[in-house]
Amino acid sequence: MSTLTAIKGFEDRFSPESDTFTYIERVAREIFFRYGYTELRTPVLEHTELFCRGIGTETDVVQKEMYTFPDRKGRSLTMRPEATAGVMRACIEHGRCAPDAVTKVFTTGPMFRYERPQKGRLRQFHQLNCECLGPVEPAADAELLIMAMRFLTALDLKDLSLQVNSLGCPSCRPVYRERLHQWLCSLPQDGLCEDCRRRMETNPLRVLDCKVPGCKELTADAPHILDANCPDCRAHFETVLRLLEKAGVPYVVNHRLVRGLDYYVRTTFEIVSDQIGAQGTVAGGGRYDGLISQLGGPATPGLGFACGMERLALLMPERTPARPDFYMAVLDEAARDDAFLLVQKLRDAGLTGEMGFTARSMKSSMRQAGKSGARYALILGTDEFAAGTVTLKDMDSGEQTSLPQPEVLSRLSGASL
């Protein structure tokens, strides 16, 4: 019988790699709570129509990358390729959308896209998402961008670039779309990839997001969408930039930044790093004022962003894992019950450590204590059991001390301060 292995693009993570993801989530909760966000957990499986309506049928995500299948009743279901559409569905369904109120939620969990696995992007990958529903004011955009940068800074990430753009609104973007379409038609068509030739007709802005070097070079002088922004969109964007400057958050205006999803309007942004190759985006998002009504909810403004946790992990400096406080070594089987109960007492008091389940020799026990990385070894042998004591060994200095069992807790608690 052949050995079963993980599916390509899906990975198992043991400690210490899994510890990095836990740490990212802990820092995220700490930062996001400061800004008034609460946690929302949504299903990984949704009706396919949600993503077709929410993301856009002409996006690569919907056309090429979704894990979609019929259930036993023939209904088309999809494993979520991103979180925002599911969050909008949940907020609509549970009455959390209202233009005169503010709802702030964040989510974390696995997403699924069928694409070529690469460094920092697998077919099952993990995201942190923040969504802010209700405010239309540019201050909300600036706050979101600042929070995203504060979060990444709290992870001790370096050399990040905040790139921003404005995609206009339903009033002014069609003007730019037509201008861009005409300009693209004037280019030598054989210089564009097959996808871009198709996008020219279906969604010209997506041509600017193409990663093919030849397409990027050929479209380097494309018209800027900011030049087509209406006065309201221009004033909105200028306010966002002004607030970023006042908060001391540096940024770069990237005229090619359109993002890969159709629902964005006005402010859009990415936070990028040059330390993880061509796919250097570690966070991205923007404003999506029409998305909630597009999905059947009330006309409610909204904005948000997502962070890829695998990419964050690649950028994070190596962290030293927390050291256990103790390792309990049992040398005499008769001492096992005493050792077992003492270990539970130490853990109940907030100390960390483990116990050898089998009575071993001193040499074998100390080898196990060393592997555990504990600061102290607690030794319970025949003599200690008879005297009601424990030998405490400092694993760094080698110094040993005999203590009555009731004093072990106070000694270790003082040492762990």
Instruction: Give the chain's mean pLDDT.
Output: 90
Kindly tell me if the per-residue pLDDT of 306 is higher than 80: yes
Q: Per-residue confidence at 189, pLDDT binned at 50, 70, 90? A: confident
Instruction: Give 376-409 pLDDT, tens digit per residue.
Output: 999 999 999 999 999 999 999 999 999 999 999 9
Task: Give pLDDT, residue 36.
Answer: 96
Residues of the chain with CATH 3.30.930.10: 17-172+229-315
If DSSP codes are grouped into helix, strand and coil, which group holds residue 338?
A: helix
CA-nearest of 333, 281, 295 to 96 is 295
Residue 271 main-chain phi, psi, to 5 deg: -115, 120
CA distances, 27 to each of 33, 84, 103, 283 (Å): 10, 21, 21, 15
Measured between alpha carbons, how far is 364 from 351 in angstroms, rounded to an integer?
A: 24
Q: Per-residue confidence at 15, pLDDT binned at 50, 70, 90? A: confident
Task: Give pLDDT, residue 86.
Answer: 93
Residue 189's Cβ-count burial label (10 Å; 0-12, 13-18, 19+) is exposed
DSSP 259-312: -S-TT-EEEEEEEE-SSS-S--EEEEEEE-TTHHHHTTS----EEEEEEEHHHH
If DSSP codes are grouped into helix, strand and coil, which group holds residue 77?
A: strand
CA 120, 124, 126, 130 dihedral sign is positive
Length of the chain: 417
Kindly tell me if the per-residue pLDDT of 314 is higher than 60: yes
Instruction: Give 70-107 pLDDT, tens digit per residue.
Output: 999 999 999 999 999 999 999 999 999 877 789 999 99
Are 122 and 10 a contacting pair, CB within 8 Å? yes
Kindly tell me if the per-residue pLDDT of 331 is higher than 60: yes
Of 80-89, 112-121, 127-136, the poorest mean pLDDT is in 112-121
CATH classification for the domain delimited by 17-172+229-315, as one of 3.40.50.1100, 3.40.50.300, 3.30.930.10, 1.10.645.10: 3.30.930.10
Instruction: Give 138-177 pLDDT, tens digit per residue.
Output: 999 999 999 999 999 999 988 899 999 999 998 988 888 8
Q: Per-residue confidence at 261, pLDDT binned at 50, 70, 90? A: low
CATH classification for the domain delimited by 326-415, as one of 3.40.50.800, 3.90.1150.10, 3.40.50.10810, 3.40.190.10: 3.40.50.800
Query: Which H helix or E strand runs over 112?
Result: strand 103-112
Mean pLDDT of 302-311: 93
Residues of the chain with CATH 3.40.50.800: 326-415
Task: Give pLDDT, residue 211.
Answer: 80
Q: Which two tokens stand for residue 172?
A: 């002014």
Kindly tell me if the per-residue pLDDT of 62 is higher than 80: no
